[in-house]
């Protein structure tokens, strides 16, 4: 009798496990599109924490796009309903947010997360559970390699590293470069490697390669070593939250080479001091561009939220439109149908004309900005656009 009971429990457990696995394999079990009252879309962003300035503006821009879409009739007559989760830029919280959105909220798709490390914590899960995921701003090359349901609205690290290396070598005439990066940050490591590869291919030399860990605020030991190598450029691929502490120390140790960064430097003009003046960084668009779509977005965001937008906000806005338009064309919550329509994306958005290659990476341009001081305030000045 005991053996029979144990066998029955084992069979029952196996059936439950099989059923759970089946749900994962079948994807996100949302209700039928025709029966749904709204189109639920999940959003994962760092609303609090060290990247909150990015996360809140990205969330607000996504909401701005959704408000516009809903005002025009929504998706096949259904209003979009956003379900926003705060991951604080912590991978474990990103995973918890993803699980809640899929299992509890039954969202049709997800926009998120913001950074590469957090997005890498959920991209495999999204692929396995057949949940369409579009990150507005995570640039690490490997993110979309998880599979066909994973997209991004931004260019990836390979392109960004190439753009910066070419600019350093050709425009700044830099032959010797020093690298300073965060070993705990996939974003920082990825762009560093791509910059290094391209810079050396062009004939440049890496004279120093120093590192630190996320959260560090004292960089003088690394910078003193770098100063001794007399670099022509100092490349620091990290976020504004680190640059505000790092840049003053670059100047204090006597390094005069121009600093360079990637899109994570956006908002450094809001948080750093004048030590960043003269630095260059790549970005996804310039708010100063003479472009109708850019001007309209910048004005609408300012009017609604009483603050300036940034590049990641523009990417969030574009990501919301890309996803909503795909669901509208699919007229379905079926992940495969949404994925197929995402792949057909091919039009101009705020951050440029976007179409997708076979890795679901957008083919789009990048801009180079320089930080200047204007009327006593820091400002990013548009320098040039680099096409793929």
Q: For 148-174, what is each residue's pLDDT tens digit?
A: 999 999 999 999 999 999 999 999 999
For 209, residues 6+ apart whose C-beta sits below 8 A from its C-beta are 178, 179, 196
- 117 with 135, same domain: the answer is yes
Give dist(CA 96, CA 132) in Å, integer. 17
Mean pLDDT of the residues in the chain? 92
- 263 with 382, same domain: the answer is yes
Give the pair of three-digit tokens for residue 269.
């003009």
Within-domain flag for 191:
yes
Within-domain flag for 85:
yes
Q: Which domain holds residue 315?
A: 38-155+291-356
Helix (H, G, I), strand (E, B) or coil at 370: strand
What pLDDT does 30 receive? 62
- 89 with 197, same domain: the answer is no
Within-domain flag for 258:
yes
Within-domain flag for 270:
yes
Helix (H, G, I), strand (E, B) or coil at 30: coil
- 91 with 218, same domain: the answer is no
- 142 with 179, same domain: the answer is no
pLDDT band for position 23 (50/70/90)? Answer: very low
Q: Which residue has the tokens 């300073």?
A: 180
Helix (H, G, I), strand (E, B) or coil at 111: strand
Give dist(CA 96, CA 370) in Å, integer. 38
Q: For 211-244, what is each residue's pLDDT tens digit?
A: 999 999 999 999 999 999 999 999 999 999 999 9
- 380 with 246, same domain: the answer is yes
Q: For 121-151, what is each residue's pLDDT tens digit?
A: 999 999 999 999 999 999 999 999 999 999 9
Q: For 199-214, what is each residue's pLDDT tens digit?
A: 999 999 999 999 999 9
Cβ(279)–Cβ(371) below 8 Å: yes
Give dist(CA 286, CA 290) in Å, integer. 9
Range with the lowest mean pLDDT among 201-205, 309-313, 372-376?
372-376
What pLDDT does 7 receive? 38
- 166 with 208, same domain: the answer is yes
- 202 with 168, same domain: the answer is yes
Report CA-CA distances (Å) from 155 to 121, 199, 283, 308.
Answer: 19, 19, 10, 22
- 77 with 95, same domain: the answer is yes
Within-domain flag for 15:
no
Within-domain flag for 18:
no
Cβ(48)–Cβ(86) below 8 Å: yes
CATH number at 253 reads 3.40.50.2300
What pLDDT does 274 receive? 95
Helix (H, G, I), strand (E, B) or coil at 320: helix
Give dist(CA 174, CA 250) in Å, integer. 18
What pLDDT does 11 receive? 37
- 149 with 207, same domain: the answer is no
- 144 with 213, same domain: the answer is no
Asked if pLDDT for residue 1 goes beyond 60, the answer is: no
How many folded domains does the chain comprise? 2
What pLDDT does 279 receive? 98
- 172 with 92, same domain: the answer is no
Residue 32 burial (10 A CB sphere; 0-12, 13-18, 19+):
exposed
pLDDT band for position 365 (50/70/90)? Answer: confident
Q: Which uninterrupted H or E stretch holds 110? A: strand 109-112
Task: Report the predicted TM-score, pTM, of the whole model to 2 decimal places.
Answer: 0.85
Within-domain flag for 361:
no
Give the pair of three-digit tokens for residue 361.
């990476």
Asked if pLDDT for residue 16 goes beyond 80, the answer is: no
């Amino acid at each position: 009798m005991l053996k029979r009971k144990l066998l029955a429990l084992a069979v029952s457990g196996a059936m439950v496990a099989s059923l759970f696995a089946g749900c994962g394999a079948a994807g996100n079990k949302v209700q039928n599109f025709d029966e749904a009252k709204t189109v639920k879309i999940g959003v994962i962003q760092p609303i609090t924490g060290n990247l909150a300035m990015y996360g809140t503006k990205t969330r607000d821009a996504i909401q701005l796009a959704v408000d516009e879409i809903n005002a025009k009739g929504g998706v096949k007559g259904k209003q979009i309903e956003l379900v926003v989760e705060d991951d604080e830029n912590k991978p474990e919280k990103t995973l918890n947010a993803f699980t809640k959105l899929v299992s509890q909220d039954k969202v049709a798709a997800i926009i998120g997360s913001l950074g590469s490390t957090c997005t890498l914590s959920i991209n495999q899960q999204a692929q396995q559970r057949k949940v369409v995921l579009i990150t507005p701003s995570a640039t690490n090359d490997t993110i979309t390699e998880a599979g066909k349901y994973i997209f991004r609205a931004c260019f990836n690290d390979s392109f960004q590293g190439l753009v910066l290396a070419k600019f350093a070598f050709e425009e700044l005439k830099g032959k010797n470069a020093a690298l300073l990066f965060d070993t705990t940050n996939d974003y920082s490591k990825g762009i560093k490697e791509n910059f290094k590869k391209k810079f050396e291919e062009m004939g440049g030399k890496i004279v120093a390669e120093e590192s630190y860990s996320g959260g560090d605020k004292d960089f003088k030991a690394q910078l003193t070593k770098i100063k001794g190598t007399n670099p022509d450029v100092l490349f620091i691929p990290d976020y504004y939250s680190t640059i505000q502490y790092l840049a003053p120390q670059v100047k204090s140790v006597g390094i005069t080479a121009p600093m360079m960064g990637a899109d994570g430097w956006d908002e450094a003009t809001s948080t750093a001091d004048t030590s960043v003046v003269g630095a260059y960084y790549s970005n996804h668009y310039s708010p100063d561009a003479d472009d109708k779509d850019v001007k309209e977005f910048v004005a609408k965001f300012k009017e609604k939220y009483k603050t300036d937008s940034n590049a990641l906000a523009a990417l969030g806005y574009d990501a919301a439109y890309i996803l909503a338009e795909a669901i509208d064309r699919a007229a379905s919550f079926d992940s495969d149908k949404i994925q197929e329509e995402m792949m057909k994306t091919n039009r101009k958005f705020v951050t440029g004309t976007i179409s997708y290659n076979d890795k679901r990476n957008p083919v789009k341009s990048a801009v180079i900005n320089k930080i200047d001081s204007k009327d006593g305030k820091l400002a990013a000045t548009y320098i040039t656009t680099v096409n793929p």
